[in-house]
Amino acid sequence: MTDRSATDQPLRDDIRELGDLLGQILREQGSQDLYQTVETVRSLAKQARGGDNDAATRLEEALTGLDDNMIMPVVRAFSHFLNLANIAEQHHRVRRSRAWARAPDTTPLRGSLEEGFKRLAAGTDPDDLFNAVCRMQVGLVLTAHPTEVTRRSLLQKHNRIASLLETQDRQDLTPEETGDLQAALKREVTAAWHTDEIRQRRPSPEDEARWGYAVVEQTLWDAIPRHARRLDRMLRDYTNRGLPLDVAPIQFGSWMGGDRDGNPRVTGRVTRNVCLMARWQAAELYDKELTRLISELSLQCRDADLREQVGDAWEPYRVVLKRVRARMRLTLRWLEARLAGRELPEGEIYQHVDDFRQPLLDCYHSLHRCGAGVVADGRLLDLLRRVSCFGLTLMRIDIRQEAGRHTEALGAITRALGLGDYADWSEEERQRFLIAELDNPRPLTPRGFAPEDDVREVLDTFRVIAEQGPDSLGAYIISMASKPSDILAVELLQKEAGVKHYLRVVPLFETLDDLEGAEACLDRLLEIDWYHQRIQGQQEIMIGYSDSGKDAGHLTAAWALYQTQERLLACCRRNGVELTLFHGRGGSIGRGGGPTHAAILSQPPGSVNGSLRATEQGEVIQAKFGLPGIALRNLELYTTAVLEATLQPPPEPDPEWRELMDTLSGTAVTTYRGMVRHTDNFVEYFRAATPEQEIAGLTIGSRPAKRRQSGGVESLRAIPWIFSWTQTRLLLPAWLGVGEALREALEQGQEERLRTMFEQWPFFHAFLDMVEMVLAKGDPDVAAQYDRRLVPDELQPLGDDLRQRYRHTLDAVLAVSGHERPLADFPVVRRSVDVRNPYVDPLNRLQVELLHRVRHRNEEHLRKALQVCINGIAAGMRNTG
């Protein structure tokens, strides 16, 4: 047995145990007939995956022959197994990280704090390393894009199963304890089997916010102080100084309840409520921590400063902390009353984080001065770390709105004033008007102004912003921004609403045209004296991976995003401004997803200069932060990658590489747009061959699947566009155009240069790795099954062409990477794909059958079975959109 086989044996044991439990439950809670059907399908699928054509034929016959009553439980059985496999894999990742940490003689795990600090310290002055940690600002923004298909009720059960697997790993369990654990596992798997996978209603924005806050409560609340302890230890080891109490290198933001771009359900009222909910959740968590501290800090020693506050009180720390808790509980009651619309209780609540932090610091310093520092460095220090990270508001909420909505609002105001329509003015006219009004102290909006609902909602949003304290909100993101007036318009609307704590205004450049015009926009903006003074040398810009990929294809979008960052960075340097880039990444490769560490290290040199913001979307939140061990691992990956990119950035790419990338990009975008935009009947084929129309009916997010209810691919949001191709295993958005570009370069004798780029340029290496990963997870033969059953005969050649392009792309990628098969450098991912295929394959075949039945007999039980099937394939593919 190889070392890797031995290492993976516990994972195989866990999957086998969970699979056996599910089999027992199918027999006990379903029927012997169901169990036998599932076993037959599973066996045939494994044989078919191994190349047995006869088994493939019998598998298709078995699945198409299932009656309506049997198809749902079979779909559920395979979906549940894939979810259980995911749980086992996540737990195994934690197990492997712990095993690595217990073996000091082994090479530290790549990306761990131990490995990162050891390597960075070898070439960095200790003061520079310490200062880099202290000024590091990583903002992880949780978003509620509709990609988390698993209900929260099931996620909680899945987390309990993972916790039981962790306990089961203990070496000192008695036979009785082992039996109890196995019984508990069976209870959780049984409870999951009897829990409906489908939400009965589409979640509201408030529901999505509660789900985000639950992630903080369940894992991040404990992960943050644990991560800070490890970071403090590394700093002491390598710089002889610890992590300052007020430093929080990683903080969290949220778009849940603030992202109104294309989502009419996010209103001013919703944003106000979500801000109050965030404060309430933080207050409740702090109340629990304070109660634990009061129980713990029975010490009687005190320093002179604390004596001034509490005199000769018998237990001084309890006196101080009980006062703090009483005020926190009043804050809780006040927030509850605000949310319920009741009369507010009297008394002073916590409004500013420093008022809460100071008495905790007083206790901390007193304990240290009295010789009880070891006590202070326990639960009290953890609480101070939480305060530095989460403040009183848990997560600052960003507001996002589309630029055109601000134009409409200002147009309504200028028309009411008799000035004409702002929307019709040139860019120069708009800028003159905006700057003049920004300098004008009088109100702009006329008295008695009564706009239409859409404009009223925009203005209501700014009034809500004006109501909030300085810590509730983060940034104002402008999607579809393209010119300076888009940014100035938001500044004016903030002024008009009486905002005291102005939000930083962040333009979001998304489409290829907007990315290419981003530098010119920023250059013109920074030439405006008013704006230059306004930003005080700090500029944040968001770049969008989703819509740029849908617009131009993965390769062209990736190269455009890289060059845009370079140009924006150069522009800011010319103007004496520090730039923070906000990466709007999704979970799938086609939307900028992929391994965190490699993604950060592949950015242009200088673009990660101690600061970085990034979205964490949908199912990615659960995958990265759903379990405590996984959350810790991802926190350290962000930390070490940002430190490395800051202190040891990659070299500038060779000019010849740039020239070749320009050529590759040109070929790729021509190919991609030629297929998606200009091929006759492509949209008709897409909607026949994928479950795109049916995905729109899923109750998995508050936002509509389309920006407009009519139109073709351009009307779709990036998530359902990618979600649909992921379901059929063709994954077209991530590779279309890549193969043609690489093959053309290879035919022109560029193989050696491409190989050099892959070996020496982190950007190109990371890009090709991600494409290879996508191609390994996909399967054109599976996609062909959809065509045979669902696509009209006249459109079949289009599908044949796409699948041939898929295979040619794989050949070209392997030719450049030098790998004999996909994922040669990622054996763990390769194993994961191989384990899942025999279980995802039946779900794909069942989905084809269900799509055929639903499209001919649109019955409720069939639609529900299809939704469960969609969820199961998403679990098997480990992402949706």
- Residues belonging to the active site: 145, 550
Residue from 140, 80, 234, 160 nearest 624 by CA = 140
**Three-state DSSP state, 855:** helix
Tokens 């049997």 — which residue? 70
Q: What is the 3-state secondary structure (H, E, C) of 520-536?
A: HHHHHHHCCHHHHHHHC
The rounded distance, in Å, linking the Cα atoms of 877 and 731 is 11
The rounded distance, in Å, linking the Cα atoms of 385 and 289 is 12
The rounded distance, in Å, linking the Cα atoms of 620 and 614 is 12
The rounded distance, in Å, linking the Cα atoms of 230 and 234 is 6
Tokens 């003061």 — which residue? 127
Distances (CA, A) of 527 to 77, 201, 524, 536, 607: 62, 50, 5, 14, 22
- Are the C-beta atoms of residues 880 and 618 closer than 8 Å to each other? yes
- DSSP conformational letter for 106: S
Query: Could you report how far apart the first and last alpha carbons of the chain are, in Å?
Result: 38
* Helix, strand, coil percent values for the chain (each to nearest 5): 65, 5, 25
CB under 8 Å to 332, separation ≥6 — which residues? 280, 283, 284, 287
Count of helix runs (H) and strand runs (E) in the chain: 39, 8
CB under 8 Å to 656, separation ≥6 — which residues? 753
Residue from 715, 720, 727, 722 nearest 690 by CA = 727
Q: Which two tokens stand for residue 657?
A: 């590489």
Chain-centre distance for alpha carbon 104: 33
Q: Which two tokens stand for residue 226?
A: 């644990």
- Are the C-beta atoms of residues 551 and 591 closer than 8 Å to each other? no
The rounded distance, in Å, linking the Cα atoms of 216 and 213 is 5
The rounded distance, in Å, linking the Cα atoms of 666 and 681 is 24
The rounded distance, in Å, linking the Cα atoms of 131 and 294 is 35
- DSSP conformational letter for 220: I
Q: Which amino acid is at 94?
A: V
The rounded distance, in Å, linking the Cα atoms of 314 and 683 is 77
Give the total residue count for the chain. 881
Distances (CA, A) of 459 to 413, 465, 702, 740: 11, 10, 22, 48
User: Read out DSSP for 135-184?
Assistant: H-EEEEEEE--TT--S-HHHHHHHHHHHHHHHHHT-TT--HHHHHHHHHH
Q: Is 711 exposed, middle or buried (0-12, 13-18, 19+ CB in 10 A)?
A: exposed
Tokens 């002491």 — which residue? 236
- Are the C-beta atoms of residues 417 and 387 closer than 8 Å to each other? no
- DSSP conformational letter for 653: P
- Are the C-beta atoms of residues 44 and 61 closer than 8 Å to each other? no
